[in-house]
Amino acid sequence: MRYEAPRRLEDAVSLLAGQDGAHVLAGGTDLLVKLRSEMIEPEMIVDIKRIEGMREIAAEDGGWRIGAAVSGAEMGEHAGLVADWPGVVEAAGLIGSTQIQGRATLAGNLCNASPAADSVPAMVAAGARVRIAGPNGMRDLDVIDVPQKPGKTALERGEFIASVWLPARGERSGDCYLRFIPRTEMDIAVVGCGISLSLDAGDRVTAARVSLGAVGPKVMLVEEAAEAITRRVLDEAALSDLAAACSAAATPIDDKRGTIDFRRHVAGVLARRAAVIAAKRAKGETA
């Protein structure tokens, strides 16, 4: 196996395009586990951390462009990012332990294409987009279009994610990510829910994006759930409808981490709670 740490984007692209069995290394918290367990046997590892810009967070068009090698811990230390997108930051900050957050990245979490990835529902709710570098140049893709099925993404040979872009937050808007795990930390999400919403002066929801993770082969954007609360105040009735829509949309499986019934039920519970927190944040209240 070869290890390469190119300093230029184009070099990374040629290495990845020119070699069968080449894998990208950013934080390594998924890659090294797979390597150790012999789930993969790479011919080459391409470490992208030394490429210029990979470790930067920059303001862009009112939003934020986050380099693919930025760790969850670094995101949590960036005041601007935390202020605008606390849900995305807290989602990244829930991946594994403090040690994992010292290395894990949004891009890596996304490209691992696990249905239970913590950062993905939050990114989907935020309307995040990724910028992909490849042999044919750069292209942008909505986050939700990246995972295709467990373990598989829409990235072609030679392509890798160079950055993640979060849009401008907008007035009276807030996001939140919650997950259910059996312990208090360290577990893979049994259910994950990311909600981003905006309120008018009367606290009615003007726009919402509701995303569920770990209840289907890919993360889902649940439009019925968003519709259930749009143009409404988040009272008990609205929250009930939101929960019901999420439970109905969920298509979970039974596995060692949870049963179908349990996941469906909890999807609804989390949606409620996430919406309440997102609304508080939208109003500028501390949750």
- Rank residues 64 and 180 by Cβ distance to other proteins and give the closer one: 180
Cα gap 2→91, rounded to integer Å: 33
Task: Find the largest Cα–Cα distance for the chain.
Answer: 60
Given 17, 35, 82, 141, the residue binding other proteins (CB under 8 A): 35
Cα gap 9→26, rounded to integer Å: 13
Cα gap 64→87, rounded to integer Å: 14
Given 12, 13, 28, 65, the residue binding other proteins (CB under 8 A): 28
Q: How far is the CB of 135 from other proteins (least distance, A)?
A: 24
Token pair in block for residue 172: 């009276």
Q: How far is the CB of 201 from other proteins (least distance, A)?
A: 31
Q: Which of residues 39-68 bind other proteins (CB under 8 A)?
A: 45, 47, 49
How do beta strands 2-4 and 44-47 pair? Answer: parallel
User: How many alpha carbons lie under 13 Å from residue 11 in its C-beta half-sphere?
Assistant: 12
Tell me the number of residues near other proteins by CB under 8 A. 43
What is the end-to-end Cα distance of the chain in Å, rounded?
48
What is the x/- site pattern for other proteins, positions 120-159, by CB under 8 A? ----------------------------------------
- Rank residues 9 and 269 by Cβ distance to other proteins and give the closer one: 269
Given 10, 18, 21, 33, the residue binding other proteins (CB under 8 A): 33
Rg of the chain, C-alpha, whole Å: 19
How do beta strands 137-142 and 57-60 pair? Answer: unpaired
How do beta strands 63-67 and 160-166 pair? Answer: antiparallel
Q: How far is the CB of 260 from other proteins (least distance, A)?
A: 10
Query: What are the backbone angles phi and psi of residue 95, rounded to the nearest 5°?
Result: -70, 115
Task: Tell me: does residue 25 bind other proteins (CB under 8 A).
Answer: yes
Given 36, 61, 284, 286, the residue binding other proteins (CB under 8 A): 36
What is the x/- site pattern for other proteins, positions 219-258, by CB under 8 A? -------------------------------------xxx
Determine what percent of the chain falls in helix, strand and coil, rounding each to the nearest 5: 35, 25, 40
Q: How far is the CB of 11 from other proteins (least distance, A)?
A: 16
Task: Tell me: does residue 38 bind other proteins (CB under 8 A).
Answer: yes
**Which residues contact other proteins by CB under 8 A?**
1-3, 5, 25, 27-29, 32-33, 35-38, 45, 47, 49, 71, 73, 96-100, 102-103, 180, 182-188, 256-259, 261-262, 265-266, 269
